[in-house]
Structure 1
Amino acid sequence: MSWTGVFPAVTTKMRSDGEIDIKATQASLDRLIANGVSGVIVLPMLGENASLRQAERDAVVTAAKEVVAGRVPLLSGLAELSEEDAVKAARNYEKLGAEGLMVFPSLAYRTDSRETVAWYRAVGGASGLPIMIYNNPIAYRVDVGPEELAQLADVKTIVCIKEESGDIRRITDIYNRVGDRYAVFCGVDDLILESVALGVTGWVSGMTNAWPAECVRLFNLCRDGNFDEARKLYRILTPSFHLDTSVKLVQYIKLAEHLVYGAPDAVRRPRLPLADADRREASAIIQEAIAALARKAA
């Protein structure tokens, strides 16, 4: 697997009754690949992983494997409570045909540094799949920083980190501590330009679900050093990218998909549909981006 490019964290499409819409999810994956993404990640936080039953997670991975059909790497999120369940899940997703894992910290407990290293070491030894560490200390209160990465450097299956601490200095700190031992991916939509400038090789993106071609172009412009053009596109998309950092990011990104190309925007409880005021505010931001992109293309 080439750990570079745009890897959208794919939303799991739901019907109005809260059940999974497999066909709409497959259509979304096909659209993303047709628009040039480098890989796809199903069952991320955006995919409402923690709200799904295990049989549903298996169905999502199986359906994704069918539609992706080897065109790009297929990763699965892995979000579990116990180490035992995490190890079992890694082996299960490998059997189902996932080609990599994006591994959350334990959802049951706020692990300290020693426990965090032990968690990832255990999951790293559970299967032959390459692992992307999902580092989101803002949401999960667990931080995999440069020192933890140094301690995990001997685990060959751990090859990448999705850096979502929100501290742009962290990227340089990682490279200074462990060199190029890991691929470093930006995990925050509204830090992608800055992150590529500091050397990240990829982007786990939420709003790519809505604007795959535009986000791929943005990443490529940054990667190629064309920051003058990149800034123009970034400034159009950044107000919408800010929605990716909200606690309501699942609802907001599904809303963006709905407004851009008509995808269903239902979510599963405990998430609820957006309150009217929140929906109006987010819709205005997204519609302005849609209009600005149309003006730019004209």
Structure 2
Amino acid sequence: MTWSGVFPAATTKMTASGELDLAAMQLSIERLMKGGVSGVIVLPMLGENAALTQAEKDKVVRAAKEAVAGKVPLLSGLAELSTADAIAAAKNYRKLGAEGLMVFPSLAYRTDRRETIAWYKAVATGGLPIMIYNNPIAYKVDVDVPTLEGLAEVPEIVAVKEETGDIRRVTDLYNAFGDRFDIFCGVDDLILESLALGVVGWVSGMTNAWPSECVKLFNAARAGNFKAALPLYRLMTPAFHLDTDVKLVQYIKFAEHLVYGAPEHIRPPRLPLEGEERARVEAVILKTIADLKRV
């Protein structure tokens, strides 16, 4: 697998009654591939992983595997409570056809450094290459440089989704490890800064709505063409800010709905947007749509 390029964190499409809409999900994955993405990640936080049963997660991976049809790598998010369940999930996703995992820390407990190292080493026994999902803002566990030093000899751990919000971390990782880990930007509104510092990939939320535009932005900036990338980044950044909100699932599904008609339904405890909040988010998305048409 090539661990570089734009890897959208795909939303899990739902019906109005809260059931899986696998047909809509497959259509969205096909649209992402037509937009030029380099890989697809299903069951991320944005994919409402924690709100799905294991049987539903299996259906999502199977349907996604069918949709990608070998055209791009398929990764699955892995978010579990216990180490035993995490190992079992890793083996299960491998059997279902996933080619890699984006692994959350344990959702049950705020692990210390020794426990975090043990967690990722255990998941690695599942046999799939791993991208560490490092989001200490949401999950209160930071896979920092000393923690990664304890994982550097584990060959299955190949990439880090860097989502601390501290852009200095990218340089710290490269200074500590060189090219040992493939570093991905994990937040949309830091992608240009992250590419300037050498990241090789982007786990993106808003790519669900605008795949070709996000791929264009990524490719221009990675090639060093900031003259072309900067105006596009500035135009899209108000929408990219929506990726960093606690309601990113609702916001990004709403963006998909407005851009190309995808269902915006979500599963409780998340609730649909309404009132002033919906109007505010709609204004951002519609302005982005209009501005992109002009360019």
- Using structure 1 for the length normalisation, give the TM-score: 0.98
1:59-78 equivalence runs, <5 A? 59-78=59-78
Q: Which SS does the other structure have where 1:271 is aligned? A: coil
Give per-residue Cα distances to partners, 1:224-269, cap 9 Å, x unaligned. Answer: 1000110000011000000000000000000000000000000001
Aligned partners of 1:84 and 1:256: how far apart in 2?
37
Cα shift at 1:275: 2.7
1:211-290 equivalence runs, <5 A? 211-290=210-289
Aligned partners of 2:218 and 2:3: how far apart in 1?
14
- 2:122 paired residue number: 122
Q: Which runs of 5+ in 2 are unaligned?
A: none
Aligned residues: 295
Aligned partners of 1:182 and 1:124: how far apart in 2?
15
Q: Which amino acid aligns with 1:177?
A: A
Aligned partners of 1:179 and 1:230: how far apart in 2?
26
**Are the aligned partners of 1:46 and 1:249 in contact in 2 as well (CA < 8 Å)?**
yes
Cα shift at 1:277: 1.2
After TM superposition, what 4+ stretches of structure 1 lie above 2 angstroms from structure 2? none
**Are the aligned partners of 1:147 and 1:177 in contact in 2 as well (CA < 8 Å)?**
no
Q: Which amino acid aligns with 1:4?
A: S
**Are the aligned partners of 1:7 and 1:38 in contact in 2 as well (CA < 8 Å)?**
yes
Q: Which amino acid aligns with 1:209?
A: N
Q: Which SS does the other structure have where 2:250 is aligned? A: helix
Aligned partners of 1:20 and 1:135: how far apart in 2?
27
Aligned partners of 2:273 and 2:146: how far apart in 1?
39
Aligned partners of 2:233 and 2:110: how far apart in 1?
35
Aligned partners of 2:33 and 2:235: how far apart in 1?
23
Aligned partners of 1:193 and 1:177: how far apart in 2?
22
Aligned partners of 1:269 and 1:226: how far apart in 2?
43
Q: Which runs of 5+ in 1 are unaligned?
A: none
Aligned partners of 2:198 and 2:67: how far apart in 1?
32
- 1:82 paired residue number: 82
- 2:157 paired residue number: 158
Cα shift at 1:146: 1.1
Give per-residue Cα distances to partners, 1:83-129, cap 9 Å, x unaligned. Answer: 0000000000000000000000000011111111110011012x221
- 2:9 paired residue number: 9
**Are the aligned partners of 1:35 and 1:213 in contact in 2 as well (CA < 8 Å)?**
yes
**Are the aligned partners of 1:193 and 1:222 in contact in 2 as well (CA < 8 Å)?**
yes
- 2:179 paired residue number: 180
Q: Which amino acid aligns with 1:3?
A: W
Q: Which SS does the other structure have where 1:199 is aligned? A: coil
Q: CA RMSD in A?
A: 0.5
Q: Which amino acid aligns with 1:114?
A: R
Q: Report percent identity of matched pairs.
A: 69
Q: Which amino acid aligns with 1:59?
A: K
Q: Which amino acid aligns with 1:36?
A: G
Aligned partners of 2:105 and 2:273: how far apart in 1?
28
1:104-119 equivalence runs, <5 A? 104-119=104-119
Aligned partners of 2:43 and 2:291: how far apart in 1?
31
Cα shift at 1:213: 0.1
